[in-house]
Amino acid sequence: MAKPVVLIAEQLSPATVEALGPDFDVRSVDGTDRPALLSALADANAVLIRSATQIDEEALAAAPSLKVVARAGVGLDNVDIKAATEAGVMVVNAPTSNIISAAELTIGHILSLARHIPAAHASLAAGEWKRSKYTGTELFEKTVGIIGLGRIGALITARLQAFGVEVIAYDPYVTPARAQQLGVRLVTLDELLEQSDFITIHMPKTPETTGMISTAQLARMKSTAYIVNVARGGLIDEEALAEALAAGTIAGAGLDVFSSEPPTDTALLGLPNVVVTPHLGASTDEAQEKAGVSVAKSVRLALEGELVPDAVNVAGGVIDPFVRPGIALVEKLGQVLAAVAGHGALTDLEIDVRGELAAYDVSVYRLAALKGYFTNQVTENVSYVNAPLLAEQRGITSSLNVSEESKDYRNTTTLRGVLSDGTTLEVAGTLAGTKMTEKIIGLNGYDIEVPIGEHHIVMFYTDRPGIVAVYGKEFGEAGINIAGMQIARRSAGGQALSIITVDSPVPDEVLERVRVAIEADEVREIDIVEA
């Protein structure tokens, strides 16, 4: 069996390849060479990138087998997450890999601004000795304002406090208790701008935060204050910043990121009171290694069909080993439900989990049920990523209920679907015995116990003598071997259910002959696709 193809599109640490292990066909391509990238993506199952490779709609269309895009870093500006989600491709990153490096670079920029280190170096290297020109300022007893008190903001706080500064912060999502724990005073954005001697911004880039520091905000700052951005380009309005720096509205700025990279058409690069670095926030050996190893582990999980804690476009998280075997069962129950529904339009799907599983987080079962339901229903590649989107597009609501009560089995999972005409369908399953055998234990109110196979035929008909002989003859004459069979009924002479396991798919014309021969209300084939 061919190994899954993992494409490395940018330079990553040797530890990244080592973390992938021997189970993959690891290939390399220059992600900035567009034709080469598109060609290499043709049979790739995973692609590992940094910041230079663009994975957009065109790239995704060129990769029909792609299951995961892994960004060895934090930012995802170069990945079209919406297009990836629609294509069923998981997007993962390494959100904590560079936080120490970014925090340390921020401190470096603050110190460089306070003591004019880059300008003083350049002057001395040019043969000048101008000590008085580069008189700086101490951090001691100054006020530093942090916009965004997340993981990086907290690390910066801890490092700055050693300098004897007062740290204030603006973050609408941080509680006063958390701020107090960090030794930080929460203030409004306007208060932070007016009180701070140094300001550093650590917000995600969203439509709301883009340009959040512009002319009006810069005007509120002290004329002796400095501002630093090592987070995302565009958080500070660069044109407004250049005007403020040139006019002396503020003392200086330290920038590691820009709206367009590399920056070419900007006045900022020519100003003497600006310290710039070429997006070095994650550029340490340690950060690169941590990022590469982190996403390599995520790729392994994704290609093994697992959910990934760092997936940005799927409700992932750590799955308890006790919960994991049930994922495949629930996917198959979803396929059974879809087959029984036929051409009926599903409007609601309820997943009911009972028994010992109730003690665990089984939220993944909702994704598994949706994935299973759509597996044979749509032409798109269905995954944990786009199954909820497919449901939303079709107006299907889904819910998950959990209860410790399970009367006959240690664990049961029931999928209950409501069709647009009000019909309710139900299929229940369990993992039985020490071998955790996947079984169907209920179908539309009938109690059965059938190990899940690759091919099943479900028949609803009026209970009467001779029916088994009739359909057995039809299947036998068609060369269809019956591997197992179970019949259930609610009362003698009432409606009965036969579910049989067969060794091969059954042609439609054979199913129709069986339906006519036994005067069945319904005959359905269920073909189970392995995850």
Is position 232 annotated as part of the catalytic site? yes
**In sequence order, which residues have a C-beta less than 8 Å from that of residue 297 and are 6 or more positions away?**
19
C-alpha of 209 from chain center: 22
Q: Which helix (H) or strand (E) holds 374?
A: helix 364-375
* Contact (CB, 8 A) for 428 and 351: no
According to DSSP, residue 269 is labeled G
Tokens of 12: 């990553």
* Contact (CB, 8 A) for 51 and 73: yes
Q: Which helix (H) or strand (E) holds 192?
A: helix 189-195
- 3-state SS assignment for residue 266: coil
* Residue environment code for 27-41, b if the CB has 16+ CB neighbours within 10 A, otherwise e: eebebeeeeebeebb
Count of beta carbons in the 10 Å neighbourhood of residue 530: 8
Catalytic residue among 128, 261, 512, 519: 261
According to DSSP, residue 358 is labeled G
According to DSSP, residue 79 is labeled B
Catalytic residue among 71, 202, 220, 232: 232
* Contact (CB, 8 A) for 425 and 337: yes
Cα distance between residue 388 and residue 394, in whole Å = 10
Q: Which helix (H) or strand (E) holds 311?
A: none
Tokens of 250: 């503020």
Cα distance between residue 427 and residue 344, in whole Å = 16
Residue 376's alpha-carbon distances to 22, 116, 314, 356, 371, in angstroms, are 33, 64, 21, 30, 10
Residue 508's alpha-carbon distances to 19, 334, 505, 517, 523, in angstroms, are 48, 22, 9, 14, 10
Catalytic residue among 202, 220, 279, 524: 279
* Residue environment code for 248-278, b if the CB has 16+ CB neighbours within 10 A, otherwise e: ebbbbbbbbbbbeeebeebebeeeeebbbbe
Cα distance between residue 475 and residue 525, in whole Å = 13
Cα distance between residue 305 and residue 67, in whole Å = 9
Residue 145's Cβ-count burial label (10 Å; 0-12, 13-18, 19+) is buried
Which has the closest alpha carbon to 522: 498, 493, 486, 494? 498
Is position 524 annotated as part of the catalytic site? no
Amino acid at 356: E
Cα distance between residue 326 and residue 436, in whole Å = 9
Residues carrying an active site annotation? 232, 261, 279
